[in-house]
Amino acid sequence: MAEALDPILTPELDALTCCVLEKACAQGLKLGTAESCTGGLLASLLTDVPGCSHAFERGFVVYSEDAKHDLLGVPRDMLEAGGAVSQGVALAMASGALARSRADIVLAVTGWAEDMGDPQKPGGLVHFACASRDRPTHHRKAELGVIGRQAFRLACLEIAMDMLFVAVSL
């Protein structure tokens, strides 16, 4: 059971997190994160389960475009052309985090919790990418709507853990 985050987690998310970490530990897999809109919450969740946190290798919190470029190598032209919330940026974040860590599997997430006042930047849009050293990278787009920052982040955690579950189960 997650300790620090327990008060905000659903029982299903808590159970899924434990399952992902147990599978990763059993296979000797190291997990990593590249997070924007979740602000490190996914890394916190992956280090919150006693006895399994050693499966977490490292996390990158890259909230700004500069951080995405400087820490993960996301090309500036990609950030300028399509913005920080796109399939391409999520994929680049995942591959950058994989290249800059010893993780076997990395989950990247970038999105907007709030309405940006631009039809091209709808509130609740999120892109996820899950990269591993020996398999193709998977992308998932979610349109969560403007549901509030807390609900948005929790929904992102659920999707991220679902993707990690698939990755550690292959």
Please state the domain extents for the chain.
Answer: 6-169
Per cent of the chain over pLDDT 70 is 96
CA-CA distances (angstroms) from residue 122 to 88, 159, 163?
Answer: 17, 18, 23
Q: How many angstroms from the chain centroid is the CA of residue 39?
A: 10
**Whole-number Å distance between alpha carbons of 149 and 31:** 25
pLDDT tens digits for 106-156?
A: 999 999 999 888 888 899 999 999 999 989 999 999 999 999 999 999 999
pTM equals 0.95
Q: What are phi and psi of 63, to 5 degrees?
A: -70, -40
Which position has the token pair 């920052």?
Answer: 149
- For the domain made up of 6-169, the CATH class stated in words is alpha beta
CA-CA distances (angstroms) from residue 152 to 65, 81, 102, 125, 139?
Answer: 20, 25, 29, 10, 18
- CB contact at 8 A, 134 and 125: no
Please say if the pLDDT value at position 1 is more than 70. Answer: no
Q: Give the pLDDT of residue 115.
A: 87
What are 77's two structure tokens?
Answer: 């032209």
